[in-house]
A and B are shown apart, each in its own frame.
Chain A
Amino acid sequence: MLNFLFLNIKLITLGTFNTLSLWLAASLISLLAGSLLGVFRCSQLKFKIIKTILNFTTFILRGIPYYVQLLIAYFVLPDLLGINISATTAAIYSLGLCSASYMSQIVKSGINSIPIGQWEAAKTLGFSTIQTLRHIIFPQFLKNALPAICGELDQLLKSTSIIASIGVLELTKAGMNIISRNMNPIPVYISIALIYLTLSTLLSLTSNFLEKRTTTW
Protein backbone atom coordinates (compact mmCIF):
# COMPACT_ATOMS: atom_id res chain seq x y z
CA MET A 1 0.00 0.00 0.00
CA LEU A 2 2.76 2.43 1.01
CA ASN A 3 4.76 1.41 -2.04
CA PHE A 4 1.71 2.09 -4.22
CA LEU A 5 1.23 5.53 -2.67
CA PHE A 6 4.90 6.39 -3.16
CA LEU A 7 4.78 5.43 -6.86
CA ASN A 8 1.64 7.46 -7.57
CA ILE A 9 2.03 10.29 -5.08
CA LYS A 10 2.33 12.95 -7.79
CA LEU A 11 -0.95 12.05 -9.48
CA ILE A 12 -2.83 11.64 -6.19
CA THR A 13 -1.52 14.97 -4.88
CA LEU A 14 -2.58 16.68 -8.09
CA GLY A 15 -6.02 15.02 -7.89
CA THR A 16 -6.44 16.07 -4.24
CA PHE A 17 -5.37 19.63 -5.04
CA ASN A 18 -7.81 19.80 -7.96
CA THR A 19 -10.63 18.36 -5.83
CA LEU A 20 -10.01 21.02 -3.18
CA SER A 21 -9.83 23.79 -5.81
CA LEU A 22 -13.09 22.65 -7.43
CA TRP A 23 -14.73 22.37 -4.02
CA LEU A 24 -13.54 25.83 -2.98
CA ALA A 25 -14.82 27.47 -6.17
CA ALA A 26 -18.17 25.62 -6.06
CA SER A 27 -18.49 26.43 -2.32
CA LEU A 28 -18.11 30.14 -3.05
CA ILE A 29 -20.87 29.98 -5.67
CA SER A 30 -23.02 27.89 -3.33
CA LEU A 31 -22.59 30.29 -0.39
CA LEU A 32 -23.08 33.48 -2.40
CA ALA A 33 -25.94 32.34 -4.65
CA GLY A 34 -27.51 30.26 -1.85
CA SER A 35 -27.49 33.19 0.59
CA LEU A 36 -28.99 35.54 -1.98
CA LEU A 37 -31.67 33.04 -3.00
CA GLY A 38 -32.44 32.21 0.65
CA VAL A 39 -32.71 35.84 1.77
CA PHE A 40 -35.09 36.76 -1.07
CA ARG A 41 -37.19 33.66 -0.36
CA CYS A 42 -37.53 34.26 3.41
CA SER A 43 -41.00 35.09 4.70
CA GLN A 44 -40.09 38.54 6.04
CA LEU A 45 -39.35 40.03 2.62
CA LYS A 46 -42.32 40.68 0.36
CA PHE A 47 -41.04 40.48 -3.22
CA LYS A 48 -43.80 38.33 -4.67
CA ILE A 49 -42.63 38.11 -8.30
CA ILE A 50 -38.93 37.65 -7.45
CA LYS A 51 -39.92 35.04 -4.85
CA THR A 52 -41.96 33.09 -7.40
CA ILE A 53 -39.11 33.10 -9.93
CA LEU A 54 -36.57 32.05 -7.30
CA ASN A 55 -38.84 29.33 -5.92
CA PHE A 56 -39.20 27.94 -9.44
CA THR A 57 -35.42 28.08 -10.00
CA THR A 58 -34.64 26.20 -6.79
CA PHE A 59 -37.42 23.71 -7.60
CA ILE A 60 -35.68 22.91 -10.90
CA LEU A 61 -32.18 22.77 -9.40
CA ARG A 62 -33.27 20.54 -6.52
CA GLY A 63 -35.46 18.32 -8.67
CA ILE A 64 -32.80 17.24 -11.17
CA PRO A 65 -29.96 14.95 -10.00
CA TYR A 66 -26.58 16.63 -9.88
CA TYR A 67 -25.10 14.14 -12.35
CA VAL A 68 -27.74 15.04 -14.95
CA GLN A 69 -27.17 18.77 -14.33
CA LEU A 70 -23.46 18.23 -14.90
CA LEU A 71 -24.10 16.45 -18.20
CA ILE A 72 -26.50 19.20 -19.33
CA ALA A 73 -23.98 21.90 -18.37
CA TYR A 74 -21.16 20.22 -20.28
CA PHE A 75 -22.89 18.64 -23.29
CA VAL A 76 -26.22 20.47 -23.84
CA LEU A 77 -25.75 24.14 -22.85
CA PRO A 78 -22.68 24.81 -25.05
CA ASP A 79 -24.64 23.55 -28.08
CA LEU A 80 -27.81 25.45 -27.17
CA LEU A 81 -26.06 28.74 -26.39
CA GLY A 82 -23.34 28.37 -28.98
CA ILE A 83 -20.53 28.89 -26.47
CA ASN A 84 -17.46 26.97 -25.47
CA ILE A 85 -17.35 25.78 -21.85
CA SER A 86 -14.42 23.83 -20.45
CA ALA A 87 -15.19 20.72 -18.39
CA THR A 88 -13.82 22.40 -15.25
CA THR A 89 -16.01 25.49 -15.71
CA ALA A 90 -19.10 23.38 -16.36
CA ALA A 91 -18.32 21.31 -13.27
CA ILE A 92 -17.79 24.32 -10.99
CA TYR A 93 -20.96 26.14 -12.08
CA SER A 94 -23.24 23.11 -12.11
CA LEU A 95 -21.97 21.86 -8.76
CA GLY A 96 -22.06 25.36 -7.24
CA LEU A 97 -25.59 26.13 -8.43
CA CYS A 98 -26.96 22.72 -7.50
CA SER A 99 -25.55 23.14 -3.99
CA ALA A 100 -26.83 26.76 -3.90
CA SER A 101 -30.39 25.49 -4.24
CA TYR A 102 -29.95 23.39 -1.09
CA MET A 103 -28.02 26.19 0.62
CA SER A 104 -30.89 28.60 -0.11
CA GLN A 105 -33.26 26.24 1.69
CA ILE A 106 -30.95 26.27 4.73
CA VAL A 107 -30.69 30.08 4.63
CA LYS A 108 -34.44 30.52 4.13
CA SER A 109 -35.46 28.22 6.98
CA GLY A 110 -32.65 29.59 9.17
CA ILE A 111 -33.89 33.16 8.73
CA ASN A 112 -37.52 32.11 9.16
CA SER A 113 -36.61 30.43 12.46
CA ILE A 114 -35.61 33.79 14.01
CA PRO A 115 -38.65 35.06 15.98
CA ILE A 116 -40.61 37.80 14.21
CA GLY A 117 -40.22 39.91 17.37
CA GLN A 118 -36.55 40.45 16.50
CA TRP A 119 -37.56 42.04 13.17
CA GLU A 120 -40.23 44.14 14.86
CA ALA A 121 -37.90 45.31 17.65
CA ALA A 122 -35.30 46.32 15.06
CA LYS A 123 -37.96 48.17 13.05
CA THR A 124 -39.21 50.19 16.03
CA LEU A 125 -35.58 51.04 16.85
CA GLY A 126 -35.20 52.50 13.37
CA PHE A 127 -33.29 49.75 11.53
CA SER A 128 -33.88 49.34 7.80
CA THR A 129 -34.52 45.84 6.41
CA ILE A 130 -30.91 45.45 5.25
CA GLN A 131 -29.56 46.75 8.59
CA THR A 132 -31.85 44.32 10.43
CA LEU A 133 -30.60 41.43 8.31
CA ARG A 134 -26.96 42.39 8.77
CA HIS A 135 -26.83 43.34 12.44
CA ILE A 136 -29.67 41.38 14.05
CA ILE A 137 -30.81 38.43 11.96
CA PHE A 138 -27.56 37.24 10.36
CA PRO A 139 -25.57 36.71 13.62
CA GLN A 140 -28.46 34.74 15.14
CA PHE A 141 -29.02 32.84 11.90
CA LEU A 142 -25.35 31.88 11.72
CA LYS A 143 -25.45 30.30 15.16
CA ASN A 144 -28.52 28.23 14.25
CA ALA A 145 -27.57 27.31 10.70
CA LEU A 146 -23.81 26.78 10.91
CA PRO A 147 -24.02 22.97 11.37
CA ALA A 148 -26.37 22.66 8.37
CA ILE A 149 -24.19 24.94 6.21
CA CYS A 150 -21.06 22.93 7.06
CA GLY A 151 -23.00 19.73 6.36
CA GLU A 152 -23.93 21.00 2.91
CA LEU A 153 -20.32 22.00 2.19
CA ASP A 154 -19.21 18.54 3.31
CA GLN A 155 -21.75 16.99 0.94
CA LEU A 156 -20.42 19.27 -1.80
CA LEU A 157 -16.87 18.03 -1.20
CA LYS A 158 -17.94 14.43 -1.69
CA SER A 159 -20.04 15.30 -4.74
CA THR A 160 -16.91 16.51 -6.56
CA SER A 161 -16.16 12.82 -7.27
CA ILE A 162 -18.96 12.79 -9.90
CA ILE A 163 -16.98 15.35 -11.93
CA ALA A 164 -14.70 12.47 -12.94
CA SER A 165 -17.42 11.43 -15.40
CA ILE A 166 -16.71 14.40 -17.70
CA GLY A 167 -12.96 13.85 -17.60
CA VAL A 168 -11.80 16.50 -15.10
CA LEU A 169 -8.71 15.31 -13.27
CA GLU A 170 -9.82 15.39 -9.67
CA LEU A 171 -9.11 12.81 -6.95
CA THR A 172 -11.44 10.05 -8.19
CA LYS A 173 -10.37 10.53 -11.81
CA ALA A 174 -6.70 10.41 -10.72
CA GLY A 175 -7.47 7.08 -9.04
CA MET A 176 -9.20 5.78 -12.17
CA ASN A 177 -6.17 6.76 -14.27
CA ILE A 178 -3.84 4.89 -11.90
CA ILE A 179 -6.07 1.78 -12.05
CA SER A 180 -6.07 1.85 -15.86
CA ARG A 181 -2.28 1.64 -15.68
CA ASN A 182 -1.70 -0.95 -12.93
CA MET A 183 -5.06 -2.80 -12.95
CA ASN A 184 -5.07 -3.00 -9.14
CA PRO A 185 -8.20 -1.22 -7.85
CA ILE A 186 -8.07 -2.26 -4.16
CA PRO A 187 -5.22 -0.02 -2.89
CA VAL A 188 -6.31 2.82 -5.18
CA TYR A 189 -9.93 3.00 -4.02
CA ILE A 190 -8.97 2.46 -0.36
CA SER A 191 -6.44 5.30 -0.58
CA ILE A 192 -8.93 7.60 -2.27
CA ALA A 193 -11.60 6.75 0.30
CA LEU A 194 -9.15 7.53 3.12
CA ILE A 195 -8.25 10.88 1.55
CA TYR A 196 -11.94 11.85 1.23
CA LEU A 197 -12.48 10.74 4.84
CA THR A 198 -9.53 12.86 6.02
CA LEU A 199 -10.77 15.94 4.14
CA SER A 200 -14.30 15.43 5.48
CA THR A 201 -12.99 15.02 9.05
CA LEU A 202 -10.96 18.23 8.74
CA LEU A 203 -14.11 20.03 7.59
CA SER A 204 -16.06 18.58 10.51
CA LEU A 205 -13.42 19.73 12.99
CA THR A 206 -13.47 23.23 11.47
CA SER A 207 -17.26 23.23 11.75
CA ASN A 208 -17.10 22.23 15.44
CA PHE A 209 -14.52 24.96 16.09
CA LEU A 210 -16.66 27.61 14.38
CA GLU A 211 -19.78 26.45 16.22
CA LYS A 212 -18.01 26.89 19.56
CA ARG A 213 -16.78 30.34 18.51
CA THR A 214 -20.28 31.53 17.59
CA THR A 215 -21.95 30.10 20.71
CA THR A 216 -20.93 32.73 23.22
CA TRP A 217 -24.46 33.67 24.29
Chain B
Amino acid sequence: MVNIKNLSLTLPNLKTEKSIIKNINFYAKAGEIIILAGKSGSGKTTTLRCIAGLENNFNGSISINNQEIKALKSEESSKLTVMVFQGLNLFPHLTALENCIKPLIITNKFKLEEAKTIAINVLKKLDMEEFVNEHPSKLSGGQQQRIAITRALCLNPKVILLDEPTSALDPQNSLKLKLILKKISQTGITIIISSQDMNFLNIIEADRVYFMKNGEITQTFEQSNKEESDKNRNILSFLKPHLFD
Protein backbone atom coordinates (compact mmCIF):
# COMPACT_ATOMS: atom_id res chain seq x y z
CA MET B 1 0.00 0.00 0.00
CA VAL B 2 1.41 3.37 -1.05
CA ASN B 3 0.38 6.38 1.01
CA ILE B 4 1.32 9.89 0.07
CA LYS B 5 0.35 12.65 2.46
CA ASN B 6 0.85 16.41 2.06
CA LEU B 7 3.76 15.97 -0.34
CA SER B 8 5.38 19.27 -1.31
CA LEU B 9 8.72 20.03 -2.93
CA THR B 10 10.36 23.41 -3.33
CA LEU B 11 13.56 23.77 -5.28
CA PRO B 12 15.87 26.80 -5.22
CA ASN B 13 15.57 28.78 -8.43
CA LEU B 14 17.99 31.47 -9.63
CA LYS B 15 16.61 34.18 -7.37
CA THR B 16 13.62 32.76 -5.56
CA GLU B 17 12.46 29.34 -4.47
CA LYS B 18 10.18 27.52 -6.88
CA SER B 19 7.40 25.27 -5.69
CA ILE B 20 7.42 22.17 -7.90
CA ILE B 21 4.68 20.15 -6.22
CA LYS B 22 2.18 21.31 -3.62
CA ASN B 23 0.29 19.34 -1.05
CA ILE B 24 -0.13 16.10 -3.01
CA ASN B 25 -2.25 13.39 -1.41
CA PHE B 26 -3.02 10.01 -2.90
CA TYR B 27 -2.89 6.30 -2.21
CA ALA B 28 -2.50 3.07 -4.15
CA LYS B 29 -3.40 -0.42 -3.06
CA ALA B 30 -1.49 -3.58 -3.95
CA GLY B 31 -2.03 -4.59 -7.58
CA GLU B 32 -3.59 -1.29 -8.62
CA ILE B 33 -2.66 0.70 -11.69
CA ILE B 34 -2.55 4.41 -10.90
CA ILE B 35 -2.06 7.17 -13.43
CA LEU B 36 -0.70 10.63 -12.85
CA ALA B 37 -1.90 12.56 -15.88
CA GLY B 38 -1.23 16.14 -16.84
CA LYS B 39 0.69 18.35 -19.18
CA SER B 40 4.48 18.84 -19.19
CA GLY B 41 5.69 20.67 -16.09
CA SER B 42 2.66 19.71 -14.03
CA GLY B 43 4.82 17.82 -11.47
CA LYS B 44 4.12 14.19 -12.47
CA THR B 45 7.75 13.15 -12.86
CA THR B 46 8.82 15.00 -9.72
CA THR B 47 6.15 13.14 -7.76
CA LEU B 48 7.50 9.83 -9.06
CA ARG B 49 11.07 10.92 -8.26
CA CYS B 50 10.03 11.65 -4.67
CA ILE B 51 8.45 8.19 -4.36
CA ALA B 52 11.61 6.61 -5.85
CA GLY B 53 13.77 8.35 -3.25
CA LEU B 54 15.57 10.52 -5.81
CA GLU B 55 14.36 13.75 -4.17
CA ASN B 56 14.96 13.93 -0.45
CA ASN B 57 14.15 17.55 0.34
CA PHE B 58 10.39 17.12 0.16
CA ASN B 59 7.94 17.89 2.93
CA GLY B 60 5.19 15.49 3.85
CA SER B 61 5.16 11.74 4.00
CA ILE B 62 5.61 8.92 1.48
CA SER B 63 5.18 5.44 2.86
CA ILE B 64 5.10 2.04 1.20
CA ASN B 65 3.83 -0.82 3.36
CA ASN B 66 4.09 1.56 6.34
CA GLN B 67 7.79 2.21 5.73
CA GLU B 68 8.75 5.86 5.33
CA ILE B 69 10.75 6.19 2.10
CA LYS B 70 12.78 9.15 3.35
CA ALA B 71 14.28 7.09 6.18
CA LEU B 72 15.45 4.25 3.93
CA LYS B 73 18.83 3.71 2.26
CA SER B 74 18.77 3.10 -1.51
CA GLU B 75 19.42 -0.62 -0.92
CA GLU B 76 16.31 -0.86 1.28
CA SER B 77 14.05 1.35 -0.82
CA SER B 78 14.85 -0.67 -3.98
CA LYS B 79 13.09 -3.63 -2.32
CA LEU B 80 9.94 -1.50 -2.14
CA THR B 81 10.00 0.58 -5.29
CA VAL B 82 11.92 0.80 -8.56
CA MET B 83 11.57 3.49 -11.18
CA VAL B 84 11.60 2.97 -14.94
CA PHE B 85 12.76 6.28 -16.37
CA GLN B 86 11.48 8.08 -19.45
CA GLY B 87 15.00 7.81 -20.93
CA LEU B 88 15.15 4.20 -19.60
CA ASN B 89 18.76 4.66 -18.38
CA LEU B 90 19.84 1.14 -19.21
CA PHE B 91 23.54 0.59 -18.53
CA PRO B 92 25.09 0.72 -22.02
CA HIS B 93 28.22 -1.28 -21.18
CA LEU B 94 26.18 -4.28 -19.97
CA THR B 95 24.16 -6.74 -22.05
CA ALA B 96 20.40 -7.06 -21.54
CA LEU B 97 20.94 -10.00 -19.20
CA GLU B 98 23.73 -8.25 -17.29
CA ASN B 99 21.52 -5.18 -16.87
CA CYS B 100 19.02 -7.42 -15.10
CA ILE B 101 21.38 -9.55 -13.01
CA LYS B 102 23.77 -6.83 -11.83
CA PRO B 103 21.27 -5.28 -9.36
CA LEU B 104 20.32 -8.75 -8.12
CA ILE B 105 23.95 -9.57 -7.35
CA ILE B 106 24.88 -6.16 -5.94
CA THR B 107 21.69 -5.24 -4.06
CA ASN B 108 20.06 -8.57 -3.23
CA LYS B 109 23.35 -10.47 -2.84
CA PHE B 110 22.27 -13.30 -5.11
CA LYS B 111 24.87 -15.65 -6.56
CA LEU B 112 25.47 -15.34 -10.30
CA GLU B 113 23.60 -18.54 -11.23
CA GLU B 114 20.59 -17.69 -9.04
CA ALA B 115 20.46 -14.17 -10.49
CA LYS B 116 20.67 -15.57 -14.03
CA THR B 117 17.78 -17.97 -13.39
CA ILE B 118 15.57 -15.18 -12.01
CA ALA B 119 16.42 -12.77 -14.82
CA ILE B 120 15.94 -15.31 -17.60
CA ASN B 121 12.55 -16.31 -16.17
CA VAL B 122 11.37 -12.69 -16.20
CA LEU B 123 12.91 -12.05 -19.63
CA LYS B 124 10.99 -15.10 -20.94
CA LYS B 125 7.72 -13.73 -19.57
CA LEU B 126 8.33 -10.53 -21.51
CA ASP B 127 9.41 -12.42 -24.68
CA MET B 128 12.94 -11.05 -24.46
CA GLU B 129 14.99 -14.24 -23.98
CA GLU B 130 16.45 -14.07 -27.51
CA PHE B 131 18.05 -10.69 -26.76
CA VAL B 132 19.85 -11.63 -23.53
CA ASN B 133 23.32 -11.13 -24.96
CA GLU B 134 22.61 -7.91 -26.83
CA HIS B 135 23.78 -4.52 -25.59
CA PRO B 136 21.03 -1.88 -25.26
CA SER B 137 22.35 0.06 -28.26
CA LYS B 138 21.51 -2.94 -30.49
CA LEU B 139 17.86 -3.06 -29.34
CA SER B 140 14.81 -1.12 -30.52
CA GLY B 141 13.01 1.37 -28.28
CA GLY B 142 10.28 -1.14 -27.41
CA GLN B 143 12.81 -3.87 -26.63
CA GLN B 144 14.83 -1.50 -24.44
CA GLN B 145 11.62 -0.56 -22.64
CA ARG B 146 10.95 -4.22 -21.85
CA ILE B 147 14.52 -4.71 -20.62
CA ALA B 148 14.09 -1.71 -18.31
CA ILE B 149 10.85 -3.19 -16.97
CA THR B 150 12.49 -6.61 -16.59
CA ARG B 151 15.37 -5.03 -14.67
CA ALA B 152 12.86 -3.47 -12.28
CA LEU B 153 10.75 -6.64 -11.98
CA CYS B 154 13.75 -8.83 -11.17
CA LEU B 155 14.13 -7.00 -7.85
CA ASN B 156 10.55 -7.99 -7.02
CA PRO B 157 9.50 -4.56 -5.71
CA LYS B 158 6.10 -3.72 -4.23
CA VAL B 159 5.71 -0.71 -6.52
CA ILE B 160 6.95 0.02 -10.03
CA LEU B 161 7.04 3.63 -11.15
CA LEU B 162 6.93 4.34 -14.88
CA ASP B 163 7.73 7.80 -16.18
CA GLU B 164 6.19 8.50 -19.60
CA PRO B 165 6.56 4.84 -20.60
CA THR B 166 5.26 5.28 -24.13
CA SER B 167 7.26 8.35 -25.16
CA ALA B 168 9.45 6.24 -27.48
CA LEU B 169 6.90 3.58 -28.43
CA ASP B 170 4.67 3.13 -31.48
CA PRO B 171 0.97 2.22 -30.93
CA GLN B 172 1.67 -1.51 -31.35
CA ASN B 173 4.37 -1.48 -28.69
CA SER B 174 2.15 0.66 -26.45
CA LEU B 175 -0.48 -2.07 -26.66
CA LYS B 176 2.13 -4.71 -25.80
CA LEU B 177 3.22 -2.58 -22.83
CA LYS B 178 -0.36 -2.30 -21.63
CA LEU B 179 -0.71 -6.09 -21.63
CA ILE B 180 2.60 -6.48 -19.79
CA LEU B 181 1.57 -3.94 -17.14
CA LYS B 182 -1.78 -5.64 -16.69
CA LYS B 183 0.00 -8.97 -16.13
CA ILE B 184 2.37 -7.36 -13.62
CA SER B 185 -0.44 -5.72 -11.65
CA GLN B 186 -2.24 -9.07 -11.43
CA THR B 187 0.76 -10.40 -9.46
CA GLY B 188 0.04 -7.82 -6.74
CA ILE B 189 2.63 -5.23 -7.76
CA THR B 190 1.34 -1.66 -7.70
CA ILE B 191 2.06 0.35 -10.83
CA ILE B 192 2.17 4.14 -10.83
CA ILE B 193 2.47 5.71 -14.26
CA SER B 194 3.03 9.32 -15.26
CA SER B 195 1.75 9.97 -18.75
CA GLN B 196 0.30 12.57 -21.05
CA ASP B 197 -0.08 10.16 -23.97
CA MET B 198 -3.80 10.09 -24.79
CA ASN B 199 -3.45 6.99 -26.97
CA PHE B 200 -1.93 5.07 -24.08
CA LEU B 201 -4.40 6.44 -21.55
CA ASN B 202 -7.06 5.33 -23.99
CA ILE B 203 -6.04 1.67 -23.71
CA ILE B 204 -4.64 1.28 -20.19
CA GLU B 205 -7.16 0.07 -17.65
CA ALA B 206 -6.26 2.19 -14.64
CA ASP B 207 -7.92 1.94 -11.26
CA ARG B 208 -7.50 5.62 -10.53
CA VAL B 209 -6.38 8.68 -12.42
CA TYR B 210 -5.03 11.80 -10.74
CA PHE B 211 -4.96 14.85 -12.93
CA MET B 212 -2.12 17.26 -12.07
CA LYS B 213 -1.80 20.93 -12.92
CA ASN B 214 0.89 23.37 -11.69
CA GLY B 215 2.16 20.88 -9.13
CA GLU B 216 -1.24 20.06 -7.63
CA ILE B 217 -3.78 17.30 -8.04
CA THR B 218 -6.78 19.17 -9.34
CA GLN B 219 -9.07 16.26 -10.22
CA THR B 220 -9.33 12.63 -9.19
CA PHE B 221 -11.06 9.99 -11.19
CA GLU B 222 -11.93 6.74 -9.45
CA GLN B 223 -13.28 3.71 -11.26
CA SER B 224 -16.69 2.96 -9.90
CA ASN B 225 -17.71 0.79 -12.81
CA LYS B 226 -15.96 -2.56 -12.54
CA GLU B 227 -16.79 -3.55 -16.11
CA GLU B 228 -13.41 -3.68 -17.88
CA SER B 229 -14.86 -2.49 -21.17
CA ASP B 230 -16.21 0.65 -19.56
CA LYS B 231 -13.02 1.58 -17.71
CA ASN B 232 -11.16 3.27 -20.54
CA ARG B 233 -14.20 5.04 -21.91
CA ASN B 234 -14.65 6.57 -18.47
CA ILE B 235 -10.98 7.60 -18.15
CA LEU B 236 -10.97 9.13 -21.59
CA SER B 237 -14.08 11.17 -21.02
CA PHE B 238 -12.58 12.38 -17.74
CA LEU B 239 -9.19 13.37 -19.21
CA LYS B 240 -10.19 14.84 -22.55
CA PRO B 241 -11.33 18.22 -21.31
CA HIS B 242 -8.25 18.56 -19.08
CA LEU B 243 -5.54 17.58 -21.55
CA PHE B 244 -7.04 19.40 -24.50
CA ASP B 245 -8.28 22.55 -22.78
Report A's interface with B, CB cutoff 8 A: 115, 117-118, 120-128, 131, 135-136, 139-140, 143, 216-217
Contacts and interface: CB of A to CB of B under 8 A. Distances in A.
Contacts of B53: 123-124
A119 to B, nearest CB: 9
Interface of B: 52-54, 73-79, 81-83, 85, 87, 89-93, 102-103, 106-108, 135, 137, 151-152, 155
Contact of A128 (B75, B90, B102, B152): B75
Contacts of B92: 140, 217
B54 A123 contact: yes
Given A126-B103, A126-B155, A136 B91 contact: yes
A121 B74 CA distance: 11
Given A120-B54, A135-B106, A126 B85 contact: no
A121 B77 CA distance: 13
Contacts of A216: 135
29 contacts: A115-B87, A117-B87, A118-B91, A120-B54, A120-B89, A121-B90, A122-B91, A123-B54, A124-B74, A124-B77, A124-B82, A124-B83, A125-B78, A125-B103, A125-B107, A126-B74, A126-B103, A126-B107, A126-B155, A127-B75, A127-B103, A127-B107, A131-B106, A135-B102, A136-B91, A140-B92, A140-B93, A217-B92, A217-B135
Contacts of B73: 128
B155 A139 contact: no
A151 to B, nearest CB: 22
Contacts of A143: 93
Given A123-B54, A126-B79, A117 B89 contact: yes
